[in-house]
A and B are shown apart, each in its own frame.
Chain A
C-alpha cells in the first residue's frame, strides 16, 4: 500500500518536472522561503525575470523522499530546466555569476546595479504549484 502511494507521488512529481520548463523545489514559497538556500535560489530566478513553477516540499516529508529518489540529489532546493536537474543553490549561484544560468534559461543576464540577487525583491514571476495532497 505504501509503495503504491509513493509511486503515485513520484509519478506526480516526475510529471510536474516534465510539464514545467523551469521548476524549483524549495522549502517554503517564493513569497515566503523557509530556508536561506531556497531564498537565494528564488532571488536569483526572480532577478533573471524568468517564469518558473515552485513546489514547497515542506508540507509532507514524502515529497522530499520521492524527489530525491528521482533526482538522486540529497538537498533542497533543486532546480530543473527542461526536465533536467541543473543543481541546488551553490550551482545556481555559480552559474548566475558566470552568466550560464541566464543562458540555460534563455534570458538576458541583467546588467547594472542589480548584481546582488540576494537583495532582489520577490517579483510576480513565480507560479506556485500546489501539490494535490490526497494521500492521507
Chain B
C-alpha cells in the first residue's frame, strides 16, 4: 500500500451548466520517503491538486488516501508550503513560526516551543531577522520563513506548491539546496509542484507531468536515475540527465501543441455596424 494514494480523482468547480471539470481521472501513488515532482503549465490545475492532497478541498469524485486513511480536512501530518508564502503580516518571523509550533505541540511548555522556533528559524538562516515582520524581508527570506513554519510542525509529508516560483534564479538555487538538505536529513516524503522542469529533475526521484486543464490528468511518469547528492554543474554532462530532460520537455511541448490546436476554435463575430453611422454616407 502506498503512503499517499490518489484514486480516480475528479474535481469540478461550479454547478450543472457552469461546471468546469478541472481535474479528471487523477491516479497517483507516492511511497514513503520519496520525493515526487509534478510539472505542469500555469493554469493546469496544480494548486487544485495540491489543495486536494493537503485537505483544503474535497474531490468531487474519487478518494485521497493518506497512509490508507481517507483525507478529511487538513492535518499536521502534512505540512504545506504555499506558493505566495502566506505569512501573517502582523506577526514577526518568530511569531509566525511559533503559531504553527504551538498548534502542532499544544502540550509542550512555552520554553520548549520557543526552543523549537529558534531551531527552525536558525535552520533557514533567519535568526538575525527573527523579530522582523514579513514586510521587511525579501521574497526569498519570506519563503524561508514559510519553509521553517511548515517544517517546524514536524510533518510526515511536505507538500510544496510552486514554492520557489516567484524567486530569482540565484535565490531559487540556494533554496532548492536547502529544501533538499532538510528533506535528506530525516527522509520525509515530499511532493513538489513546479513549472520548472530543471527544478524537478534536480530535486525529485520521479517527475509526473500534469496535462493542462480543464480535464487535467497526469501524464506518464519519468524516473530520475541520478545519484544523490546531485551537483548542478556536473549534472549538465550526465547523459541520463540530458535524456530525461529532453524526454520530458518533448512531452510537454507535444501537450502544448495539442492544447493550441484544441484552442483554435473560431469565434464568429456578429456582423454589426451602427445604423445611423452607415446611413450618413448613403
| Pairing of A with B | no
Residues on B close to A: CB < 8 A?
Answer: none
Residues on A close to B: CB < 8 A?
Answer: none
